[in-house]
């Protein structure tokens, strides 16, 4: 949620942010008008209530002759106060509803536009392989995974429907190796490892900004009024809800390991083969609470940690600065790392790190104590590993016989195995 007082004082940055996102800048004026109506309704209620209290006090001092008129006036005022309170509550609810519709304000330098308007910052890692020069046609990750007896989408669909799968044998071990490597790296960097809840309340889900334009991507359990999380960011953001933090020693950092669930409602016909875009997957997610003035530096550190993991996986990748219209509700800036996918000759997102400034903290009541009082903190998140990484690992490290070379950094997590061999 945005600081409405700052919005009143200078609405132009918010309007420009909306324009950069391709969204309606008129929403800013609606919020300011609703806030003025809220403050006016509250003032009217408090004024009437003060008058009511004075009249009520005068009853005891009134003469017998004056009392009936005063009592009638008190009764009339009570009805007015009740109506004014209802109006103030309604105005407050409407102002809050509109304020929650406004996405976070994008930071200076973020590319304007939509999904395809990102800026490529750089290319990193080894050069994409020339399979033609190596003398063979690369197989896609599903064919390789089936050859290893590591991925089973047919039985996944039989049991749960489309876009579900089993990881088995070396597939399960490979994912655990990747996730464990991420956890170890994060732990060495000072993160507190956490196994997080995957069901959260509407207050926590809404507080993180996921119940806006992308709410159709979330699984909801109406009988329990709980949501399945699509990232442990949600549970980690809610961990310190309604608390005052001490950040005098630096950011509080957590590494969440959880299963994630996404409906993928808007992805019909896209990446349906294999395990690129699925309903259930595992993810290791970094999360930080820090001072707002330190958020940009923390964001750079998150990106560096993600790139450290990609270097260990020995993957060719590029870093993009995501355009404003593709940031999502909470992010003010987002960097994605996209690994090269040989069989599709394109880059595929494998990590994402977002600076959410104070947006989530304001919604969730997370503050820090400072010399001049308390103030909202900044929150940041970033991916260290997900199930999707297996797609890039299998395709980029395949050999002509269908075996997979294991990157050196991952070998200790697989008992020293240097290659995954297909099942004969």
Q: Any idea where the domains of the chain sit in the sequence?
A: 4-101, 119-420
pLDDT attached to residue 94: 94
Closest CA to 310 of 178, 150, 168: 178
Task: Give me the torsion for CA of 272, 277, 281, 286, rounded to 10°.
Answer: 170
Phi and psi based region of residue 272 (left: phi greater than 0; alpha: psi -120 to 50; beta: remaining): alpha
Q: Is 72 exposed, middle or buried (0-12, 13-18, 19+ CB in 10 A)?
A: exposed
106 is in an annotated binding site: no
Q: Could you say which of 352, 354, 363, 395 is catalytic? A: 352
Cα separation, 161 vs 152, in Å, equals 13
280 is in an annotated binding site: yes
pLDDT attached to residue 1: 65
To the nearest 10 degrees (0 to 180), the angle between helices 67-101 and 26-59 is 160
pLDDT attached to residue 61: 79
Residue 169 has pLDDT above 70, yes or no: yes
pLDDT attached to residue 404: 98
Residue 87 has pLDDT above 70, yes or no: yes
pLDDT digits over 147-160, tens only? 999 999 999 999 99
The answer to whether the beta carbons of residues 362 and 376 sit under 8 Å apart is yes
Q: Could you say which of 349, 405, 411, 421 is catalytic? A: 349
39 is in an annotated binding site: no
pLDDT digits over 320-337, tens only? 999 999 999 999 999 999
- % pLDDT > 70, the chain: 98
The Cβ of residue 297 has, within 10 Å, a number of other Cβ atoms equal to 11
Cα separation, 383 vs 351, in Å, equals 5
278 is in an annotated binding site: yes
pLDDT attached to residue 268: 60
Query: Which CATH number applies to 4-101: 3.50.50.60, 3.40.50.300, 1.10.287.40, 3.30.565.10?
Result: 1.10.287.40
pLDDT attached to residue 364: 97
3-state secondary structure 313-370: CCCCEEEEECCHHHCCCCCCEEEEEEEEECCCCEEEEEEEEEECCCHHHHHHCCEEEE
Task: Let me know if 352 is a catalytic residue.
Answer: yes
Task: Please give the mean pLDDT across all residues of the chain.
Answer: 94
Mean predicted confidence (pLDDT) in 169-193: 98
Q: Could you say which of 67, 112, 129, 277 is catalytic? A: 277
Task: Let me know if 79 is a catalytic residue.
Answer: no
76 is in an annotated binding site: no
pLDDT attached to residue 269: 61
Closest CA to 106 of 16, 6, 3: 16
Q: Is 183 exposed, middle or buried (0-12, 13-18, 19+ CB in 10 A)?
A: middle
Q: Could you say which of 163, 262, 362, 363 is catalytic? A: 262
Closest CA to 343 of 133, 123, 128: 128
231 is in an annotated binding site: yes
Q: Could you say which of 354, 362, 388, 395 is catalytic? A: 388
pLDDT attached to residue 53: 86
Mean predicted confidence (pLDDT) in 220-226: 97
Residue 266 has pLDDT above 70, yes or no: no
Using a cut of 0.75, tell me whether the model's pTM lies above it.
Answer: yes
Query: Which residues does 150 contact at the CB level (< 8 Å), separation at least 6?
Result: 167, 168, 169, 170, 171, 172, 174, 420
Q: Is 158 helix (H, G, I), strand (E, B) or coil?
A: helix
- % pLDDT > 90, the chain: 86
Mean predicted confidence (pLDDT) in 280-295: 98
Cα separation, 255 vs 287, in Å, equals 6
Task: Let me know if 349 is a catalytic residue.
Answer: yes
Q: Identify the CATH class of 119-420.
A: alpha beta
């Amino acid at each position: 949620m945005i600081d409405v007082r700052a919005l009143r004082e200078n609405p132009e940055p918010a309007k420009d942010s909306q324009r950069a996102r391709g969204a309606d800048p008129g929403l800013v004026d609606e919020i300011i008008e609703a806030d003025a109506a809220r403050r006016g309704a509250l003032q009217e209620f408090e004024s009437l209530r003060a008058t009511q209290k004075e009249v009520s006090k005068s009853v005891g001092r009134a003469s017998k002759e004056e009392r009936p008129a005063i009592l009638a006036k008190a009764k009339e005022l009570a009805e007015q106060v009740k109506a004014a309170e209802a109006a103030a509550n309604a105005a407050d609810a409407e102002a809050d509803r509109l304020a929650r519709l406004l996405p976070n304000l994008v930071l200076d330098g973020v590319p304007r536009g939509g999904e395809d308007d990102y800026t490529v910052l750089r290319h990193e890692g080894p050069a994409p392989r020339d399979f033609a020069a190596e003398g063979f046609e690369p197989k896609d990750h599903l064919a390789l995974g089936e050859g290893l007896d590591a991925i089973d989408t047919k039985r996944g669909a039989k049991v749960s429907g489309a876009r579900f799968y089993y990881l088995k044998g070396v597939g399960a071990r490979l994912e655990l190796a990747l996730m464990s490597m991420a956890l170890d790296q994060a732990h060495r960097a000072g993160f507190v490892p956490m196994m997080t809840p995957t069901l959260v309340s509407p207050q926590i889900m809404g507080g993180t900004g996921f119940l806006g334009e992308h709410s159709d991507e979330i699984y909801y359990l109406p009988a329990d009024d709980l949501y399945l999380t699509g990232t442990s960011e949600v549970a980690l953001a809610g961990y310190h809800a309604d608390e005052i933090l001490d950040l005098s020693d630096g950011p509080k950092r957590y590494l969440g390991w959880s299963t994630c669930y996404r409906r993928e409602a808007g992805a019909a016909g896209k990446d349906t083969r294999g395990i690129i875009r699925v309903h259930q997957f595992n993810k290791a997610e970094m999360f930080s609470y820090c001072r707002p003035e330190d958020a940009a530096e923390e964001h750079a550190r998150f990106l560096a940690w993600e790139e450290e993991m990609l270097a260990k996986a020995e993957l060719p990748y590029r870093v993009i600065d995501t355009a404003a219209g593709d940031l999502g509700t909470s992010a003010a800036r987002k960097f994605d790392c996209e690994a090269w996918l040989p069989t599709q000759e394109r880059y595929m997102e494998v990590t994402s790190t977002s600076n959410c400034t104070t947006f989530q903290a304001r919604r969730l009541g997370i503050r820090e104590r400072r010399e001049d009082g308390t103030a909202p903190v900044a929150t940041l998140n970033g991916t260290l590993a997900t199930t999707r990484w297996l797609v890039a690992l299998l395709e980029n490290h395949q050999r002509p016989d269908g075996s997979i070379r294991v990157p050196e950094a991952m070998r200790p997590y697989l008992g020293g195995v240097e290659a995954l061999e297909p099942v004969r």
